Amino acid sequence: MSLPDLAQTLYAVDDRGVATATFNRPERHNAMNPGFMADLHAVMDHVTGSDVRALVLTGAGESFCSGADLTWMATQVGLSYAERVESSGAIASLLGRLNALPVLTIARVNGPAYGGGVGIIAACDMAFAVPTARMALTEVTLGLAPSNISPYVVKRMGAANARRTFLNAKRMDAAMAADLGLVTGVAEDVDAVIEAELKGLLRAGPDAVAATKELIAYVDTHDREANADYAARHLADAWERAEGKEGIAAFIEKRPPSWRA
């Protein structure tokens, strides 16, 4: 599958199947607008239709993503209610798809992230930030609320910390964001940290990674009885998949499995 033609995003895939998407409107601090969202959907189309194993998201210039483009948001005022719901729903759809993407997703937080940019961070599996990165949920200062990003950010940091940071648009440095669970870690050499995570991932079966993301999402939202039944079936399915059979055979035969050979 050929790489997508993107207007606001740089996209590349290395020979290991690690894709990097770089939001590329540094003059607007990589703010989200319809073009931004179309590009990210096209990236996710490519990821799910190819042999990509992981997706790293980052920003060009000084910022990761400053959230929704206020110029675009201003156009929503004159729309009908149904049109505004549709526009808002597009953001929810984007974040939901990113959250459920069947590969490892990593936010490489190279600089400030606000509003929707924080939502993108929270929808990724992992996030690593440079020490100078700053984050905030600034919607209330505009008379708005962090509506579509809230399911992912609250899940990351918990309701108490959401109250602490949503209600007063609290500015968080990278260390505070890590303490609250919003980012996975902080490092001067953030690329080296991400590379270490990727090396671990590339030892794993691609189908197993996708299935495990589904497993985590299910058990996090169901009760013990439902989880017990789901988990039993989940493992039975894993034993039946070609990848599971190959992984067990490779271990017994003391050789690398096919995805690492």
**Residue with token string 């070609």:** 242
Which of 84, 85, 120, 87 is closest to 105 using CA atoms?
120
**Residue with token string 């899940």:** 155
Contact between 127 and 235 (Cβ < 8 Å): no
d(CA 257, CA 233): 24
DSSP 65-118: B-SB-HHHHHGGGGS-HHHHHHHHHHHHHHHHHHHH-SSEEEEEE-S-EETHHH
The active-site residue, picked from 62, 83, 86, 139, is: 139
Contact between 208 and 243 (Cβ < 8 Å): yes
Pairing of strands 9-13, 18-23: antiparallel
d(CA 110, CA 102): 24
Cα dihedral across residues 34, 32, 170, 186: positive or negative: positive
Contact between 184 and 175 (Cβ < 8 Å): no
Question: Which tokens is 83 given?
Answer: 């049109």
139 catalytic? Reply is yes
Catalytic (active-site) positions: 139
